[in-house]
Structure 1
Amino acid sequence: MAVVQATDKEVQLLARLMRAEAESEGDLGMLMVGNVGVNRVRADCLDFKDIRSIQQMVFQSPGGFEATTKGYFYQRARDEDIRRARRVIAGERFHPATRSLWFFEPSGDCPAQWYDQWNTGRFKSHCFYSPSSSDCPQV
């Protein structure tokens, strides 16, 4: 059962986002980016109170994803990209992105906090940040 609603178009949109943001991080890295996206749709807190769909999440402004400004994002989703997107929409979660709402690629070590959110870990070049349970109980 899906943890967020998604049309076929939105599944493809999420698949393209996951690939564009983290293809160099491999399968697991792309799944973690998907976790962040799904978490933002579920969150109803902090910067994501008005985000109720994958479409809104991907193109949120301000606060959206840099990949949407690059041509690579607009290429067609491949079958394996769509399978990954369906996995995170179905609720699969991967540490350290399990509850994360943010990630970024620092030039060095992951800061302990980023915009007042705590680091939950690093996977390859991306650092992941999660809200407290009291700030975002839905995630």
Structure 2
Amino acid sequence: MAAIKYNEAQLRELARLMRAEAEGDGQLGMLLVGNVGVNRVLANCLDFEDIRTLPSMIYQSPGGFEAVQSSYFYQRAREKDIRLARRAVRGETFSPGQFSLWFFRPEGECPPEWFGQPLSGRYKSHCFYNPYPGECPNIL
């Protein structure tokens, strides 16, 4: 059963986003980006109120993903990427992204907070950040 509603076209968009944001971090890195995306659809809090669909999450502006500004994002989704996106929308979660709403790729170490949100951990090149307990009860 899916954690969020989606159709196949939306699933392919999520697959493209996951690849464009984290392909260099391998399958787990891409799944972690998928976790963040699904969490944003579920959250209904902070920067993500009224984000209820994959397209509204993917193309959110301001506050969305930088990858949608890259031509790489607009390339056709590959089957292996679609399989990973399907795992994310079905609710498979992985640490440190299982409750995260944000991630970014720093030049060096992960700061303990990013825009006032606490670090949940790092996976390869990306740092992941969770909301504080009580801020987003739909995901924490």
Matches of 1:80 and 1:137, distance apart in 2? 32
Residue 135 of structure 1: SS of its match in structure 2?
coil
Q: Note the C-alpha offset of 1:133.
A: 2.6
For structure 2, list consecutive stretches of 5 or more residues without a partner in the other structure.
none
In the alignment of these two chains, the number of paired residues is 139
1:1-139 correspondence to structure 2 within 5 Å: 1-139=1-139
For structure 1, list consecutive stretches of 5 or more residues without a partner in the other structure.
none
Matches of 2:22 and 2:47, distance apart in 1? 22
Q: Note the C-alpha offset of 1:32.
A: 0.2
Matches of 2:66 and 2:30, distance apart in 1? 15
How large is the Cα RMSD of the aligned pairs? 0.5
Q: What is the TM-score normalised by the length of structure 2?
A: 0.98
Residue 13 of structure 1: SS of its match in structure 2?
helix
Residue 86 of structure 1: SS of its match in structure 2?
helix
Runs of 4+ in 1 over 3 A off after TM superposition: none
Q: Counterpart of 1:89 in structure 2: which amino acid?
A: V
Residue 93 of structure 2: SS of its match in structure 1?
coil
Residue 3 of structure 2: SS of its match in structure 1?
coil
Q: Counterpart of 2:89 in structure 1: which amino acid?
A: I
Matches of 1:89 and 1:104, distance apart in 2? 21
Q: Counterpart of 1:117 in structure 2: which amino acid?
A: Q
Residue 122 of structure 1: SS of its match in structure 2?
strand
Q: What is the TM-score normalised by the length of structure 1?
A: 0.99
Matches of 1:7 and 1:132, distance apart in 2? 31
Residues 58-95 of structure 1 show CA distances to partners (whole Å, capped at 9, x for unaligned) of: 00000010000000000000000000000010000010
Residue 76 of structure 1: SS of its match in structure 2?
coil
Matches of 1:46 and 1:25, distance apart in 2? 27
